[in-house]
Amino acid sequence: MSITHFPGGASSSPLASPLTKVTMPTLSEMKRQGKPISALTAYDYGTSRLLDEAGIDLVLVGDSLAMVVLGHENTLAVTVDEMLHHTRAVRRGVRRALVVADMPFGSYHGTVAEGVANAVRFVKEAGAEAVKIEGPRIELVLALTEAEIPVVGHLGLTPQSVNRMGGYRVQARSVETVRQLKADALALAQAGAGALVLEGIPREVAAGITAELPIPTIGIGAGPDCDGQILVFHDLVNLTFTPPAKFVRRYGDAAALFRTAVEHYREDVEHRAFPSDEESYHLPDEVRKSLKPGRNTLTKVGVIQKA
């Protein structure tokens, strides 16, 4: 397997390291060796760069940006052009992690040809290294694989199906639905999907699928037995302004940090404590002296001349 190495050294191991570019084959090797895959969403250059420098393996430009960045009620409103815009920004900030782009609602729900054409845009125009699609769309996965576009599948609670599901509800809770989910997961793997996101399903179901599939699973609300885990970045740092889901663990409080910083800034401005003299630019001494009252002013630049 060919692995791209960044300056500073090389490694013979296909597992991801600080110097090794993560690829879809890397994820498969991580599953084989039992090394957990870390994944987070990102929507801009700064955040994606921080995630990449922190060693996150997979950065997903999620259609969740519709909610956490653009303020929509659900993911359905985000467009292809908006997703392309944010994918480009994220790609500029990433050197090591695998960059995966969500294909938004409506971009692959028509013909297979339309889905492939939109996926090509994510790779060619935005630099995505894989695309993620929701549901058991086997024909589309086959076509994308034939077109040399890596695919990440997504089963279980699929947010683009929120209207059909009647809300964000845990899936696969009956014998029939568990069997169907397992069949869909295997079909996606056989069609060429390189990884599979499992969302909002019982731990036992996710564990069974993970054990049976040859490709890595990445869980979100699917328990600890998946090959990797993913969260929405804004959930991770408390920037969503909504109560967290059961599966979310908050690792920081960016909302409190930002709010305190902004309030301190506002207070300093109101009390003329910002900017200070040290934070201000100054004229050179000779220019400043020439501008004193009673002196010829701005003669060097010809604005005012003494009569």
DSSP characters over 156-214? ES-GGGHHHHTSS-----SHHHHHHHHHHHHHHHHHT-SEEEEES--HHHHHHHHHH-S
Residue 269 confidence (pLDDT) above 70:
yes
**Terminal alpha carbon distance of the chain:** 82
User: What is the count of structural domains for the chain?
Assistant: 1
List beta partners, residue 154. 197
Helix 138-146 with 112-124: angle, nearest 10 deg: 50
What CATH number is attached to the domain comprising 134? 3.20.20.60
C-beta separation of 92 from 63 below 8 A: no
Amino acid code (one letter) for 258: F
Q: Residue 1's pLDDT is what?
A: 32
* pLDDT 10s digits, 18-56: 669 999 999 999 999 999 999 999 999 999 999 999 999
214 inside domain: yes
142 inside domain: yes
**Whole-number Å distance between alpha carbons of 249 and 137:** 31
C-beta separation of 66 from 106 below 8 A: no
Residue 199 is among the residues annotated as catalytic for this protein: yes
Q: What is the DSSP string of 212-241?
A: H-SS-EEEESS-TTSSEEEE-HHHHTT-SS
Q: Residue 179's pLDDT is what?
A: 98
1 inside domain: no
Surface-to-core class of residue 290, CB atoms within 10 Å of its CB (0-12 exposed, 13-18 middle, 19+ buried): middle
301 inside domain: no
| 86: containing domain | 24-236
Q: Is the pTM of this model over 0.75?
A: yes
C-beta separation of 100 from 152 below 8 A: yes
283 inside domain: no
**Whole-number Å distance between alpha carbons of 115 and 118:** 5
Among candidate residues 29, 73, 139, 199, the one labeled active-site is: 199
pLDDT band at 131 (very low <50, low <70, confident <90, very high): very high
278 inside domain: no
* pLDDT 10s digits, 132-152: 999 999 999 999 999 999 999
89 inside domain: yes
CA dihedral 7, 11, 17, 23 (to 10 degrees): 90
60 inside domain: yes
Q: Residue 292's pLDDT is what?
A: 83
Q: Residue 213's pLDDT is what?
A: 98
